[in-house]
Structure 1
Amino acid sequence: MVYITSDIHGAFDIHKINPREFIPGQTMTGDDYLVICGDFGCVWDGGSSDRFWLNWFESLPWTTIFIEGNHENFDVLEHYPVVEWNQGKVRQIRSNVFMLMRGERYEFAGKSWLALGGGFSHDVEHRQAGKNWWNVEIFSKEEALHAQQTMEAHDWKVDIVLSHDVFSAHPLANKYQHNMANYSDDRVHQHEFLESMRQKLDYQIWFSGHYHVDRIDYFDQKPCVVLFDTVEEVDTLIQKAKDHQPLDLAQ
């Protein structure tokens, strides 16, 4: 089984995936997965806090997978090795903890998955470059091209899209103002890039996070599920979306 959530922010919101609160976690096994749609935050400074939480993740029976959010330490993440995993490249954080890389497509749990991590920080002016904010939080032109080439090789077909931020057509894309002047010339506008991908992709469901809400919206009759408190099984969410059921924070 595959469960999915977003935005655990290291110690701040990790309680929602602790098996004491996340009841399905008490019976999950090595054949199961937990997917986090960005803002993992447990790889931050390479220090004792990171080691504590990564040791904890490694002690859990399931495999934890995350994409990049915007609240990540990208410098530290880049020190982890790149390996092949389920037909795509990942950074291996621990034996059962992997970061899916931008523009990579994977096959696991009977489904195909596209990783489109990264997102805009709306609080750039209150953060310091190289300390708690990184220009690379959004896609580069090279990464965008790689994602396009990956999907061209698969006829633009994938079951599940994972992003942290949302595409331009989503109402939440207008929640904050973003200034591309904060970014180097090799970066692309994240919302516009994701929108260009959405318009070409043949997908079943799109998951994202970032906005600290739980909701389902539909675009060209295809669901986009934004997650925060919800920790739920992927197939259950797919069925809810098909039936146009509300997100009820089931855990």
Structure 2
Amino acid sequence: MTRLKNYNSGMFVSDCVAGLVTASIALPQSLAYAQLAGFPPEYGLYAAILPLLIYACLGSSRTLVVGPAALISLLIGSSITKLAPQTTQEYIGLGVNLTILTGIFLSLLSLLRLGSLTTFISKPVISGFTSASAIIIASSQIPVIVGLQPNSGLSFKDIAIFTATHLNQVNSVVMTLSILGIILLWSSKLLLPALLKKLQLTGPIALALSKSSPVILVIISIILVTQFHMQDNFNIAV
């Protein structure tokens, strides 16, 4: 209640811009995270929206990232794949059960005040885990970048073997679009803020635009796929 008493229109505008920036980044990311886990893309949106709404009411941190993440998505995909589900519905059911169990265990850890156990994990272990996960996440996207469709939950070795044995099936159009998308995302970190500065755009609007390159890329790709019927003409998965 104290925060609401001191809340003003300036804070409201800042919060709206922050929400817009976060949503513009979370939208394409959540779609990608769902595919990393082996789920249909729309499930990434479900997983991104509901936790945020719940945490806004119950959470205490103003900086904690809530929702799906790349590493968790890979762990979910690899765990479910080992159970060899036969249908998509069975795969989704196993994923739902896994997330419910995970939530129960995390709730128990919180109730028992066992969060301090993380202090006993050494920094080299955390660093190694983070570095290895980054390599696995990056390698898992190599087949997708060149137009291949591997199964979810593959290890680094399996991904390398799959890519090497399916090089004859590389889709040059998909690879071109992927490379152009990477260039756009990479260059926008430097070029877009500089362009906005030249146009003398500052404040919340400039901040929102400078962070909007993922959404711009999604919009451009939708237009290209729609106008040139790439799903039928170039066998691009949509």
TM-score, normalization by structure 1 = 0.26
Q: Which has the higher contact order (CA 8 A, sep 6+)?
A: 2
Structure number with greater Rg is: 2
Compare the two structures and name the one with the higher helix fraction.
Answer: 2
